[in-house]
Amino acid sequence: MGSIFGTVFRVTTFGESHGGAVGVVVEGCPPGLSLRVEEIQKELDRRRPGQSPLVSTRSEPDRAEILSGLFEGKTLGTPIAIVVRNRDARSRDYLPFKNLYRPSHADYTYEAKYGIRNWAGGGRASARETVARVAAGAVARKVLSRYARVEILAWVSRVADLEAEVDPERVSLRRVEQNPVRCPDRRAAEQMIELIQQVQRSGDSVGGTVDCVARSVPPGLGEPVFDKLEADLAKAMLSLPASKSFEIGSGLAGTYLPGSEHNDAFYSEGGRIRTVTNRSGGIQGGISNGEPIHLRVGFKPVATILQPQMTVDRKGRKRKLLPRGRHDPCVLPRAVPIVEAMMALVLCDHFLRQKAVRFD
């Protein structure tokens, strides 16, 4: 069941990093929605490796194939199956350490759970699995755009100790995509790029944060008590490879403020209830309030570094690990469309769940 996500808009992902393909089955998409494979491909192109010198050089075209659920360019309401073939897997790069446990990878834990593991490229634990999430997220975005005009946008907000200054109310896709690090603050982006290149040359890696905002989200999305909107968003974001932290609205910084400063006061604007500030991040009581949903996800440094490390083998004997392969020195630029996809999946699911509660 760990590969299934969602209640009404439900996705099931499948595939391994060095297997024949990765893919997803999407259930619950409304019928009659116009959908083109090019719309899915656009998002996959933003996620794929090899798109800039800052990311993995694995040469994957990541071409999406829609196998079911569409007829004459419209969704049928039946399961939509999307597959992406793996074209540039090099399993031989992993042979030297197939019996070793790589530091901070899932090698040991997967073997502890299943008694067997796919040592080629990390198997199911590889970030390549996120191809399926991005493909499904493209479908979810289309639903949200068509029926609720929701806009979702993410960006790199910090790399190591370099932090960008970005207004989530005004940030645009054009600004985000103007550089390979996907940071809309040009000055900070230049410093981030320089740092990532420096870390890359030394065979190391670096982490940071990705911010994401969803605008025009209707009020009323979310379920009490265990399916609160921010709880599902937290689960979605913390299910991503390399993610280590989640904040929404004021996040941890908000815990340092007194209530008199932190509360979001209400006012009326043209018959619509608004809040003066948005420290709640667009969600109160686990339910959206109509303000932009603003969250932040922290990602650790990529675990594979091209430096010698000490570890143990399957028999517990000390071994020196000399990694090989093609890996991102910083996961953040490629994490941007993945974070957007997970935001879309959660909001689409709760949007459709809300339709089952109220028809007005």
Q: What DSSP line would sit under 147-170, residue for residue?
A: HH--EEEEEEEEETTEE----TTT
In a domain, 109, yes or no: yes
Coil, helix or strand at residue 251 = helix
Closest CA to 231 of 346, 348, 136, 358: 346
Question: What's residue 357's pLDDT?
Answer: 87
Q: Is residue 294 part of a domain?
A: yes
For residue 89, the model assigns a pLDDT of 65
Range name among 214-228, 288-302, 326-340 with the lowest pLDDT average: 326-340
pLDDT 10s digits, 291-308: 999 999 999 999 989 899
* pTM: predicted TM-score of the whole model, two decimal places: 0.95
**pLDDT single digits (tens) 50-85:** 677 787 766 678 899 999 999 999 999 999 999 999
| Residue 10 belongs to a domain | yes
> Cα(244)–Cα(254) distance, rounded to whole angstroms?
19
Total Cβ atoms within 10 A of residue 38: 9
Which amino acid is located at 336 in the chain? V
Range of the domain at 140: 4-355
Are 309 and 299 in contact by the 8 Å Cβ rule? The answer is: no
pLDDT at 300: 97
How does residue 326 score in pLDDT terms, banded at 50, 70 and 90? low
How many C-beta atoms lie closer than 10 Å to residue 179's C-beta?
Answer: 19
- By residue count, the chain amounts to 360
Task: Yes or no: say if 120 and 94 are a contact pair by the CB < 8 Å rule.
Answer: yes
Instruction: Compute the distance between CA of residue 49 and CA of residue 111 in angstroms, rounded to an integer.
Output: 27
Instruction: Report yes or no on 90 lying in a domain.
Output: yes
d(CA 206, CA 310): 20
Is there a domain that residue 41 lies in? yes
Give the pLDDT score at 17: 84
Residue 118 binned pLDDT confidence (cut-offs 50, 70, 90): confident
Cα 99 from Cα 112, distance rounded (Å): 14
Q: Tens digits of per-residue pLDDT, 1-29?
A: 689 999 999 999 999 988 889 999 999 99
pLDDT band (50, 70, 90) for residue 154: very high
Which percentage of the chain shows pLDDT scores above 70? 96
The verdict on residue 309 lying in a domain is: yes
Give the β-pairing of 208-215 and 151-159. antiparallel
| Residue 57 to residue 251: CA distance in whole angstroms | 35
Helix 332-355, helix 229-238: angle, nearest 10: 150
* Across 268-297, average pLDDT: 97
Q: Give the CATH number of the domain where residue 78 resides.
A: 3.60.150.10
* pLDDT reported for residue 18: 83
In the chain, DSSP assigns E strands to 4-5, 10-15, 21-27, 64-68, 70-71, 74-75, 80-85, 151-159, 162-163, 208-215, 243-248, 266-269, 272-275, 283-284, 287-288, 293-299, 309-312, 318-321
pLDDT at residue number 342: 98
Domains in the chain: how many in total? Answer: 1
Nearest-angstrom CA–CA distance, 73 and 102: 45
Tell me the percentage of the chain whose pLDDT exceeds 90. Answer: 82
Report, in this order, helix, strand and coil percent for the chain, each rounded to 5.
Answer: 30, 25, 45
113, part of any domain: yes
360 in a domain, yes or no?
no
pLDDT of residue 122: 80
